[in-house]
């Protein structure tokens, strides 16, 4: 009847994804014990968070098996977020005098 | 004969007349939810933008102020939310397999974990209020030698507060799902509200995955 069956993840697989996310959480705390020099500690923290978010989106939110259009919406929202950040920083980073009362 | 038509009627009672079939209705609902989630990302994006702008202006403030946040409880809460994402995924799996009891149990565990998150958050907030760490002009804490310390905590309260509000809304949605599931509304052919709420819940988890290192883990 239906055109295609919805993807059903096995319990084992879902637990595996959960455990991977726990391990990445431990890792993101553990890297703060190693003193990574200034700009790179932020880069590492964000990189681990992006990996975790990607795992959640792909395997818990089922984007991996889903219509590619939904993935596109997620990626577009991330791109527009970066556009917001980028254009804002082009202003705020290059002010000679940061807004006085802020 | 009437038996067969009755089962067909039961299987399709959720189908709205303007959709071709159950599948199209399901995919449309999911697409609508993803568009909503995109607006949520941009909504939180504004808060992350404020965070980034102030961090670029006052990097030393963030390093000093984040020592007031308890990494241990932040990490526990990250684990709690990941666990609740797992149980939501298990709830959806149960619904797909027509295991309504499993669906309800997994929703109960998710609701319980969401409450654990909020209770930990409550104690974190209460401890800060006790020290006089309030947002904005109500800030009276003396322990951070930086004149903009109140701004870090305004951003902290806004980001974690709006996130906490999303957790509370998620709890409400899942109580509603339990109510519907107990009335027999869901089966393997129709579990759209469970799937959609699951997507919302996973996004709330993803937001926290970014909030935790950005607020708690700045050495």
Q: Would you state the pLDDT for residue B2?
A: 45
The verdict on a CB contact (< 8 Å) between B30 and A76 is no
Q: Nearest CB to A56: which of B22, B202, B212?
A: B202
- Is the pLDDT at B213 greater than 60, yes or no? yes
pLDDT level of residue B1 (50, 70, 90 thresholds): very low
Taking each helix axis as running N to C, give the angle between helix A38-55 and helix A11-33, from 0 to 180 degrees, rounded to the nearest 10.
Answer: 170
Q: Would you state the pLDDT for residue A2?
A: 44
DSSP letter assigned to residue A5: P
∠ CA B125-B127-B131, nearest 5°, is 110
φ, ψ of residue B190 in degrees (nearest 5):
-150, 105
ipTM attached to this prediction: 0.91
**Tens-place pLDDT, residues B90-141:** 999 999 999 999 999 999 999 999 999 999 999 999 999 999 999 888 888 8
Q: Nearest CB to B79: which of A9, A22, A81?
A: A22
Q: Would you state the pLDDT for residue B101?
A: 96
Residues of A in contact with B86 (CB under 8 A): 14-15, 17-18, 60
Neighbours of B190 (CB within 10 A): 19
Residues of B in contact with A78 (CB under 8 A): 41
The distance of A29 to chain B (nearest Cα, Å) reads 7
Averaged pLDDT in 10-residue chunks for chain A of 102 residues: 70 97 96 85 94 97 94 97 96 78 62
Taking each helix axis as running N to C, give the angle between helix A11-33 and helix B71-96, from 0 to 180 degrees, rounded to the nearest 10.
Answer: 170
The verdict on a CB contact (< 8 Å) between B86 and A17 is yes
- Is the pLDDT at B166 greater than 60, yes or no? yes
Q: Nearest CB to A18: which of B23, B42, B82?
A: B82
Domains and CATH numbers, chain B: 44-216 (1.20.120.80)
A56 vs B: CB within 8 A: yes
Distance of CA B175 to the CA centre of its chain: 14
Question: Are B111 and B175 within 8 A, CB to CB?
Answer: yes
Residues of A in contact with B199 (CB under 8 A): 61
Q: Helix H segments across chain B? A: 2-12, 22-57, 59-65, 71-96, 100-131, 149-182, 192-216
**Tens-place pLDDT, residues B54-95:** 999 899 999 999 999 999 999 999 999 999 999 999 999 999
Q: With the C-alpha atoms ordered B86, B94, A57, A81, is the resulting torsion angle positive or negative? A: negative
Q: Nearest CB to B89: which of A1, A9, A49?
A: A9
A vs B: CB pairs below 8 A: 132
The distance of A79 to chain B (nearest Cα, Å) reads 10
The SS3 of residue B41 is helix
Q: Would you state the pLDDT for residue A102?
A: 61
**Tens-place pLDDT, residues B4-56:** 555 544 577 888 888 888 888 999 999 999 999 999 999 999 999 999 999 99
Residues of A in contact with B209 (CB under 8 A): 49, 52-53, 56
- Is the pLDDT at B3 greater than 50, yes or no? no
Q: Nearest CB to A92: which of B27, B56, B202?
A: B56
Instruction: Classify residue B106 as exposed, middle or buried by CB count within 10 Å of its CB (0-12, 13-18, 19+).
Output: buried
Spans of all domains in chain A: 1-66, 67-102
- Is the pLDDT at B181 greater than 50, yes or no? yes
Whole-prediction pTM: 0.92
Q: Would you state the pLDDT for residue B143?
A: 83
φ, ψ of residue B127 in degrees (nearest 5):
-60, -40
**Residue A35 or residue B2, greater confidence:** A35
């Amino acid at each position: 009847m239906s055109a295609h069956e919805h993807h059903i993840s096995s319990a084992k697989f879902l637990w595996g994804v959960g455990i991977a996310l726990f391990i990445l959480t431990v890792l993101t705390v553990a890297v703060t014990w190693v003193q990574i020099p200034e700009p790179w500690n932020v880069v590492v923290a964000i990189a681990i968070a992006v990996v975790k978010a990607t795992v959640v989106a792909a395997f818990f939110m089922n984007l991996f098996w889903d219509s590619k259009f939904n993935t596109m919406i997620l990626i577009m929202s991330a791109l527009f977020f970066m556009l917001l950040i980028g254009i804002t920083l082009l202003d705020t980073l290059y002010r000679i005098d940061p807004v006085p009362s802020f | 004969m009437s038996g067969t038509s009755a089962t067909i009627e039961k299987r399709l009672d959720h189908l709205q007349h303007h959709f071709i079939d159950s599948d199209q209705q399901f995919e449309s609902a999911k697409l609508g939810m993803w568009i909503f989630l995109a607006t949520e990302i941009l909504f939180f994006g504004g808060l992350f933008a404020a965070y980034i702008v102030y961090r670029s202006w006052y990097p030393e403030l963030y390093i000093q102020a984040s020592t007031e946040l308890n990494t241990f409880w932040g990490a526990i809460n990250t684990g709690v939310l990941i666990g609740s994402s797992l149980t939501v995924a298990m709830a959806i799996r149960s619904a797909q397999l027509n295991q309504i009891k499993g669906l309800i149990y997994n929703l109960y565990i998710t609701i319980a974990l969401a409450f654990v998150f909020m209770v930990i958050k409550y104690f974190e907030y209460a401890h800060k209020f006790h020290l006089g760490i309030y947002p904005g002009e109500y800030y009276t804490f003396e322990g951070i030698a930086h004149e903009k310390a109140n701004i870090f905590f305004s951003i902290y309260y806004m980001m974690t507060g709006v996130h906490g509000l999303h957790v509370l809304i998620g709890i409400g949605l899942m109580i509603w799902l339990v109510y519907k599931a107990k009335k027999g509304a869901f089966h393997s052919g129709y579990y759209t509200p469970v799937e959609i709420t699951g997507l919302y819940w996973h996004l709330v988890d993803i937001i926290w995955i970014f909030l935790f290192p950005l607020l708690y883990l700045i050495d």
